[in-house]
Amino acid sequence: MKKIYIAVLTMVLALPLTAQQNPQFTHFMFNKLVYNPAYAGNREALSISAIYRNQWSGIDGAPTTINANVHTPFSGKRAGIGMSIVSDQIGMLNTTFANIAYNYSFKVSDNSKLGIGVMGRMEHGRIDWSKADPADIDDQLIFMEATTNWQPNFGFGLYLSGENYYLGVSAPTLLENSLYTDLGYSGEYRSYYAMGAMMFDLSSNVKFKPSAMISYNPNAPLDLDLNASFLLMDALWLGGTWRMGDSFDAIIQYQFTNELRAGMAFDFTTSKLNDYTTGSYEMMIEYTFVTGDEKLQNIRYF
């Protein structure tokens, strides 16, 4: 059993440390601020959201992630500002990222606008070696005290959106700092993201929204998420996602009021980890502060 735990935990630790600094979310299409600062303010009202993710349930030391976002437009909705905090626990490693995002948007046509965003980021990493369960307790490479590190970073993004679509590209971490190398790991940590979606009216009560996100890291395989979702009666979202080489996912979300929506996602693992886990799940909640006669039509979709 110990050999299985060590082997699986090694896979869990190695994946995010060499492939990405931002954890994956099945709700990526509803959680764009964590990837792209140019999304700040695009809900066109003050918006607060949170996501809890439990990845690979049943595996000791598997990732658990909490993400909280807040953003709002200002200056006549031409600009937006936001904050995103991510706390990610993977075995004995904990990483926390706090992002401050600023976006300025301008019209490129009557129904489309382009946002240009920048973000400042503070990164914190901590390895608690007391949680290690090495096969050889005399291994001199295993430290006995916790190791911590703080590092700054910054990124940028572009976000093009219209009434029934959006396209975004971003690089949240442009600095290849020593956050992980000082903790005993090495690799390329600069990742790039591209995402997009379109909305199609199938009938007066049914809408179809395909979404996609690509993430690229020079030292890791290309990551691809493809989602197909249906919106019923402008209230109930039902969808499915294929994550390349990893899982098939199901999403359900409900718009309780014009301001409040909540949802869950379930990932069914298709990789070799399927022998050890029952899958992954996420819970999401979002509240948008609508005042006066403001409507949440297009921004409800994107």
Kindly report the number of other CB atoms within 10 A of residue 121's CB atom. 21
Predicted TM-score (pTM) of this structure: 0.85
Mean pLDDT of the chain: 84
Q: Give Cα separations from 220 to 96, 160, 302 (angstroms).
A: 22, 27, 29
What are the structural domains, with CATH classification, of the chain?
2-301 (2.40.160.40)
d(CA 198, CA 229): 11
**Res. 2 pLDDT band, cuts 50 70 90:** very low
SS3 189: coil
* Beta-bridge partner residues of 152: 122
| Closest-CA residue to 40 (of 103, 86, 98, 114) | 103
In terms of pLDDT, which residue wins out, 291 or 200? 200
Q: What is the pLDDT of residues 84-135, one digit of tens each?
A: 999 998 888 888 999 999 999 999 998 899 999 999 999 888 887 666 655 5
How do residues 235-254 score in pLDDT, each as one tens digit? 999 999 999 988 999 999 99
Quick one: pLDDT at residue 248? 95
The mean pLDDT value for 223-241 works out to 95
Find, among 279, 274, 278, 298, the residue nearest to 288 by Cα: 298
Q: CB under 8 Å to 32, separation ≥6 — which residues?
A: 39, 42, 159, 168, 195
**SS3 state at 30:** helix
Burial of 84 (0-12, 13-18, 19+ CB in 10 A): buried
Residue 222 contacts residue 209 (beta carbons within 8 Å): no
Q: How confident is the model at residue 266 (pLDDT cuts 50, 70, 90)?
A: very high
3-state secondary structure of 204: coil
